[in-house]
Structure 1
Amino acid sequence: MKDNDIKRLSRLTAILTQLQTKQLITSTSLAEKFGVSVRTIYRDIKALDKAGVPIFTEDGKGYSLMEGYKIPPIMFSESEANALITVEQLVLKNWDSSLIKEYTEAINKVKAVLSHSTKQKVDLLSKRIAVSPAISAVNASNSLTLVQNALTDFDLLNIVYYSEHKNEKTERNIEPFAFYYNLQERWTLIAYCRLRKDYRMFRLDRILKITQMDLKFTPHKLTLKEYLAEKEKNFSTPDILLS
């Protein structure tokens, strides 16, 4: 097989991966990513279509895979597997036990498709990585994955929240908007609070009770970048804007 053929086969596989991980992707972004012309991407998409891959083309918008179509598992390279194993050690020190559970299950699926030689190297690497004991491994919350799902599904949440600076508990209905993380406060949820009628920040470890309601909210038009820029503009740091 010629070098050009190998490069194209590799690019076609990578394009399939991109299509599976994104709802919609443009020919321009693909061309920039792989360092080829848009015309070349057109030919690649046509080749995939002829091979039986159900690719939808939306004029002026881009390409997407047919809903429900799954690409067979793709092998991870040794470097990709090492990156995931390294991150695993940090996740295991995370303050939210639900994130640890979901990541552990995901990483086990990744390990299952690794080649035997790569799996041996990954096992060795996992035994040679240590995280400073100064980083506490005490799990202070168990709601991160629930809130993540509510955020992407636009589900309203009911919470009982403890405000330390006010020394009070309040019940609120909130619309999950974004997450903020730092080494001091760990996971903090930015949400629109219907009680305060404004965006507020809630530390996950101070949410005493959380319930997913059978109600949807309208997706927020505000972006996280705009939210943080507004807070910085008002000379306030996100770390202290806790509700």
Structure 2
Amino acid sequence: MNENETTRLSRLTAILIQLQTKRLLTATTLAHKFSVSNRTIYRDIRALEQSGVPIITEDGKGYSLMEGYRLPPVMFTEAQANALITAEQLVLQNKDTSFIKDYTEAIEKVKAVLKYNILDKANLLSERVRFDQNNNRERNSSHLSDLQFALTNFRVVKIEYTNAKNEPTTRNIEPFALLSTENWLLVAYCRLRRKFRFFRLDRINELEILTDKFETHKMTLEEYFTTYH
């Protein structure tokens, strides 16, 4: 196999990973990512189709893979996927660019084997998690996984919470975002106060994920800070 064939094989594999990671990709997006022409991408897509990969072409929109098609026999639970996506946000703060590059590529491969419904939730979570510098390594909460699930599935959560005045309260909340500072903070719409509030996870004494669902708050984390702070 000559160098050109090796390069193309690597690109075909990478295109397949990209198709498994994203819902829909255009030829232009792929051409830009791999520094080739659109015509080359068209040929690559045909080659993948001829090899038996079930690629769906949507005229004027792009390419996607048939639901259920996966290459590696690796399965992640929703909680495991959420943990990896959350860790990605922490890694992105690392000052070593090579480490960030390697981890980002690894996460793309992880996303490539996720089912679409879990992938959508993982992508939402990656947009709703933010880390600030935290030098305190003490573990002081145990509700993060449950709150990640509630956030990405739009489930109302009932909490027994102790506020800064050491007063216990019971609240139903709609999780919106998670922030890592000195302590984990949850941004949520509080149905008791009828406004968005911050909740420290280490002050949540009891937590119950209810069957009730809430309408998604149609704004990004950046838009939240612009609007409310």
Q: TM-score, normalised to structure 2's length?
A: 0.68
2: CA distance, partners of 1:228 / 1:212: 26
Share of identical aligned residues, percent?
Answer: 57
* Matching of residues 18-33 of structure 1 within 5 Å: 18-33=18-33
Q: How many residues align?
A: 176
Match of 2:196, as an amino acid? Answer: Y
- CA positional deviation for 1:6: 1.1
- CA positional deviation for 1:71: 0.9
Report the CA distance shift for 1:224/1:142 in structure 2 as closer, same or farther (over 3 A): same
* Matching of residues 4-83 of structure 1 within 5 Å: 4-72=4-72
| RMSD over aligned Cα atoms | 2.7
2: CA distance, partners of 1:42 / 1:201: 49
* Matching of residues 144-155 of structure 1 within 5 Å: 144-155=144-155
Unaligned segments of structure 2, at least 5 residues: 75-83, 92-109, 111-133
1: CA distance, partners of 2:22 / 2:42: 18
SS of the residue 1:149 aligns to: helix
Unaligned segments of structure 1, at least 5 residues: 75-83, 92-109, 111-133, 235-243
1: CA distance, partners of 2:151 / 2:61: 25
2: CA distance, partners of 1:37 / 1:154: 41
2: CA distance, partners of 1:219 / 1:8: 42
Q: What's 2:179 paired with?
A: 180
SS of the residue 2:160 aligns to: strand
SS of the residue 1:170 aligns to: strand
Tell me, yes or no, if structure 1 residue 210 matches structure 2 residue 217: no
Higher-Rg member (1/2): 1
Give structure 1 regions of 4+ aligned residues with deviation exceeding 6 angstroms.
none
Tell me, yes or no, if structure 1 residue 198 matches structure 2 residue 168: no
Tell me, yes or no, if structure 1 residue 168 matches structure 2 residue 160: no
Cα shift readout 1:10-43 (whole Å, capped 9, x = no counterpart) = 0111111112222233322222211112222222
Q: Which of the pair has the greater relative contact order for Cα pairs under 8 Å at 6+ separation? A: 2
Match of 2:210, as an amino acid? Answer: M
Match of 2:221, as an amino acid? Answer: L
2: CA distance, partners of 1:28 / 1:191: 38
Cα shift readout 1:46-99 (whole Å, capped 9, x = no counterpart) = 21112111222233333222222211269xxxxxxxxx9xx79x99xxxxxxxx
SS of the residue 2:171 aligns to: strand
2: CA distance, partners of 1:209 / 1:189: 14
